[in-house]
C-alpha cells in the first residue's frame, strides 16, 4: 500500500479556503435569488439559458448541461417552472421522443426582471473583490479544475462559451 499524499501546510490552507468558498458562494447567490425572485440558482440558470436562445427553447439534455444539472434534477426544476408558468415542455420536432423546454412570455419577463439584481450580486461577490487584473487568473484556475472534474465538457463551462451569461 502506498503512503497517502498529505497536503502541505500551504495546500491545506488553500484547500480550506476553497472548501469554504464552495459552501458560502452558492448559498449567498441562492439567498439573493430566493429573496428577490423566489427562484433557486438552478431555476434562474434554466430561465437564463432558455432566454439566450433565439427561439427560447432547448432540449432538456442540453438545458441540463448548460445549467449544470443532472437529467433528474433538470426534470424537477422544469416541472416547478412549468407550474409557475415560466416554461412549458413540448415534444422534439426532430425525433418526436425527446422533450424540449420552451420559455414562456412570463418566463422571459421573469428572467429579465431578475437578471440585473443577480448580476449585481455576482459582481459584488466575485468580480469586484478580484478586480479586472485577476479575471484571467480566475479563468485559468476554474478551467484547470473543470478539466479534471468535467473532462467531457458536459456542463456549463463549454455552454457558456457559446452564449452570454446574464439573460437577454
pLDDT 10s digits, 70-123? 889 999 999 999 999 999 999 988 776 789 999 999 999 999 999 999 999 999
pTM strictly above 0.75: yes
CATH number for region 15-141+153-161: 1.10.10.10
Domain borders along the chain are 15-141+153-161
The x, y and z cell numbers of residue 137, run together, are: 487568473
Q: Say if CB 76 and CB 107 are below 8 A apart.
A: no
Mean pLDDT lowest among 43-47, 137-141, 155-159, 162-166: 162-166
Amino acid at each position: 500500500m502506498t503512503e497517502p499524499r498529505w497536503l502541505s501546510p500551504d495546500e491545506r490552507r488553500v484547500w480550506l479556503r476553497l472548501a469554504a468558498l464552495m459552501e458560502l458562494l452558492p448559498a449567498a447567490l441562492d439567498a439573493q435569488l430566493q429573496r428577490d425572485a423566489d427562484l433557486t440558482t438552478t431555476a434562474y440558470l434554466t430561465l437564463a439559458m432558455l432566454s439566450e436562445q433565439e427561439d427560447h427553447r432547448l432540449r432538456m439534455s442540453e438545458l441540463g448541461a448548460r445549467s449544470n444539472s443532472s437529467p433528474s434534477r433538470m426534470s424537477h426544476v422544469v416541472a416547478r417552472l412549468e407550474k409557475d408558468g415560466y416554461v412549458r415542455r413540448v415534444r422534439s420536432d426532430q425525433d418526436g421522443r425527446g422533450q424540449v423546454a420552451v420559455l414562456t412570455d412570463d418566463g422571459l419577463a421573469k428572467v429579465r426582471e431578475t437578471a440585473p439584481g443577480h448580476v449585481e450580486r455576482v459582481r459584488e461577490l466575485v468580480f469586484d473583490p478580484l478586480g479586472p487584473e485577476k479575471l484571467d487568473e480566475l479563468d485559468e484556475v476554474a478551467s484547470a479544475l473543470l478539466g479534471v472534474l468535467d473532462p467531457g465538457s458536459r456542463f456549463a463551462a463549454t455552454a457558456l462559451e457559446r452564449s452570454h451569461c446574464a439573460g437577454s
